[in-house]
Amino acid sequence: MLVQHVICSGKEAYLAALANPRSLAAELPKVTAETGLYALSVFRYESMIFEAQKLRLITAFSPPHDEAEKQKIMHSKEEMVGFQKTIATLAEAFSGFFSVMPVIRDSFKGPRFDSGYPELYPSFRQLDSGEVVVRAHAPRPSGVRLPGTPEGAPAE
């Protein structure tokens, strides 16, 4: 990501890094998920869309099933406690991917990216018995015809 960030910063930045590789240390605080993944998003566009969709699918069926709790965990490591925080810390130490996952997951959304297959993931809830059941199905967007459905089929 650092190299992609420097390359996308322009020819002068790239040549300066080649001339003095130690100068890259000063660039580290400037790297963001967006600047570090920019070239990958341009040159592997479909792959990035697929990764974003895959992460949203995994998020949809992964515990916790309470939506408020899931949002808290997805967006704030500081609010995690105990085992969840330990796992998140270990995951980030093991792979930098866990640090950029939220940015990828929250990108490439909507009709512009879905190629006619909108993401209609259900939401779930966990019963006191431990059983996980479907809470609700995502409604089909009005005016969207899903492949394989009759022409006049109404949106649910």
SS3 track for the chain: CHHHHHHHCCHHHHHHHHHCHHHHHHHHHHCCHHHHHHHHHHHCHHHHHHHHHHHHHHHHHCCCCCHHHHHHHHHCHHHCCHHHHHHHHHHHHHCCHHHHHHHHHCCCCCCCCCCCCCCCCCEEEECCCCCEEEEECCCCCCCCCCCCCCCCCCCC
pLDDT tens per residue, range 18-68: 999 999 999 999 999 999 999 999 999 999 999 999 999 998 888 888 877
Cβ-count burial 42-71 (b if 16+ within 10 Å, e if not): eeeeeebbebbbebbeebbeeeebeeeebe
pTM for this model (two decimals): 0.73
What integer pLDDT is reported at residue 76 of this predicted model? 63
pLDDT tens per residue, range 60-105: 888 888 877 777 766 666 666 676 677 777 777 777 777 888 899 9
